[in-house]
Amino acid sequence: MSPAVERLKRRPEFLRVAGARRSAAMPGLVLQARKSIAPTEAVRIGFTASKKVGKAVTRNRARRRLKAVAAMVMPVHAEPGHDYVLIARGATPDRPYDALVRDLNKALKRLKLWRDEGTEAGVDSTQPKT
């Protein structure tokens, strides 16, 4: 059963996750994580893109892409009871979607917050890996 997915929206929530200093940087994104202070089994996620990513249109596109990847991966593979922040990087708007999915999967594994619920999200197990 997949845990509920909630959103981080307020700046203090983002700062608390950043303050844990637990992150994994990948070519397409940065994942920050911290154990949630709320006694819940939900996965809480926040999204951000700084001006380094580009102008407003580009930042919005990067955030939308991160939201799509997170909606696919996080309910299935993220450890419940944690808060996560996904940060867009300069490559996020143009990086292939399947590469972003691999980046998020790899970041979760690097932070040891990966839950194995079958195969990797977004990767078709019937196709040979290249």
| Residue 94 belongs to domain with CATH number | 3.30.230.10
Q: What's the pLDDT tens digit per position in 4-46? A: 889 999 999 999 999 999 999 999 999 999 998 877 788 999 9
User: 77 in a domain, yes or no?
Assistant: yes
Question: Given pLDDT bands bounded at 50, 70 and 90, which one contains residue 118?
Answer: low
Q: How far is CA 69 from CA 28, 33, 92, 104, 127, in A?
A: 11, 16, 11, 8, 20
Looking at every residue in the chain, the average pLDDT score rounds to: 89
The answer to whether 14 and 48 are in contact (CB under 8 A) is: yes
Structure pTM?
Answer: 0.85
What is the token pair recorded at 39? Answer: 């006694």
| Domain annotation covers residue 87 | yes
Residues counted in the chain: 130
Residue 54: domain span: 8-110
- Share of the chain residues as helix, strand and coil, in percent rounded to the nearest 5: 35, 20, 45
Number of domains in the chain: 1
Residue 50 domain-assigned (yes or no): yes
